[in-house]
Amino acid sequence: MKSLTPLSSRERVSRALRFERPDRTPRDFAAVPAVWQRLEEHFRTTDREAVLRRLKADCRVVSYDRFCRHPDDPAADMPAAPGSAPAGGLWQRTEPDGASRDIWGVRRRRVKAACAEYEHFASHPLADAESLDDLKAYRWPSPDWWNFDGLARCIGTLNEHGPFHIRYRVGSVFETAWSLAGFEKFLVDLLSRPALPVYIMERITEVHVENLRRALALAGDGIDLVYFYDDLGAATGPLIGPELYRRRIQPFHQRIIDVAAAHGKPVMLHSCGSVHGLIPRWIDMGVRVLNPIQPLARNMEPERLAADFGGRIAFHGGIDIQRLLPGAGAAEVRERVARVSEILGAEGGYIMAGSHHLQADTPLANVLAMYDAG
């Protein structure tokens, strides 16, 4: 039964994460820039926040990137995030050759695909590192590169039409680490000489943990959820075995979760792919929300997840961006959104969103059908 009094977005999501059924299914939104542009044109606005309100999105994001003040270039590019955080710009420096360099020193270049542009890696700064001395000589970011004095003001901006459910985006450990070293080299080293990848992840985690402590101390109740991301699944199974995860990566994830828990904040973990076998471990570690729920990956069907883990972990996402949204009709999209919302959110515990950023091949009509917006 729906509540007679509509809830605020913040309370709607909070109830769902307590496994209580709110007045309606909470919603979140993330998309590539081409989708944002179509929505802005459709709603006749250039204000992304206005777009989110028209879609009745309940969540907002503030990212750690936004508060970086790199000592070499404190005024580097801060473009608006392409996801669901209009006020959550991402730090990057555009270099003379057109590539961008992120906080960690990884370079990316934009590459045109059939219907959009995407970022591809241009170089991995630790690709040639062969020893701990090589790694120690690298210029690692320090927590002192971040200044969170503007965090409360940023949250206030996000909540001008709220209150919304605000999550703080920590960043990644495993993904950032392999982006520094290169994917193949990092995985080989993880098995053959683990001291090197472990050192890289240690240095990354040190920054994330200290930044999280500072952000939560300053923001207090302004932050509702802590979010970090590490893709650990492929379409048919995990990228690494559960024992290797337990020994080499879990300790770093646990440190982030423990800081959030110490401040009374639930944690959301993003991992694409088939990660069914890792979910019980994440529940035990204290993860409250799993995103993005890729339903075409093995054992990640909403029906299976609800049967195996319903009431133990909340779900965020699950609306297929690979086949459903680009290829179905609007009526089918509405029907599937309603069905997934009922399966995963029968007793709360679900936030409706795409199974990743909505892609450029998604027709506008299907975006609007997904959010039942005109």
Write the pLDDT tens digit of every residue in 148-188. Answer: 999 999 999 999 999 999 999 999 999 999 999 999 999 99
Confirm if 340 and 42 have CB atoms less than 8 A apart.
no
In a domain? residue 2: no
pLDDT of residue 78: 60
Domain region containing 347 = 9-370
pLDDT of residue 85: 45
Report how many domains make up the chain: 1
pLDDT beneath 50: ranges in the chain: 1-3, 80-88
pLDDT of residue 373: 74
pLDDT of residue 171: 95
In a domain? residue 295: yes
Identity of the amino acid at 93: R
In a domain? residue 1: no
pLDDT of residue 73: 80
In a domain? residue 269: yes
Write the pLDDT tens digit of every residue in 270-323. Answer: 999 999 999 999 999 999 999 999 999 999 999 999 999 999 999 999 999 999
Q: What is the CATH number of the domain that holds 133?
A: 3.20.20.210
In a domain? residue 123: yes
pLDDT of residue 83: 46
3-state secondary structure the chain: CCCCCCCCHHHHHHHHHCCCCCCCCCECCCECHHHHHHHHHHHCCCCHHHHHHHCCCCEEEEEHHHHECCCCCCCCECCCCCCCCCCCCCCEEECCCCCEECCCCCEEEEEECCCCEEEEEEECCCCCCCCHHHHHCCCCCCHHHECCCCHHHHHHHHCCCCCCEEEEEEECCHHHHHHHHCHHHHHHHHHHCCHHHHHHHHHHHHHHHHHHHHHHHHHHHHCCEEEEECCCECCCCECCCHHHHHHHHHHHHHHHHHHHHHCCCCEEEECCCCCHHHHHHHHHHCCCEEECCCCCCCCCCHHHHHHHHCCCCEEEEEECCCCHHHHCCHHHHHHHHHHHHHHHHECECEEEEECCCECCCCCHHHHHHHCCCC
In a domain? residue 4: no
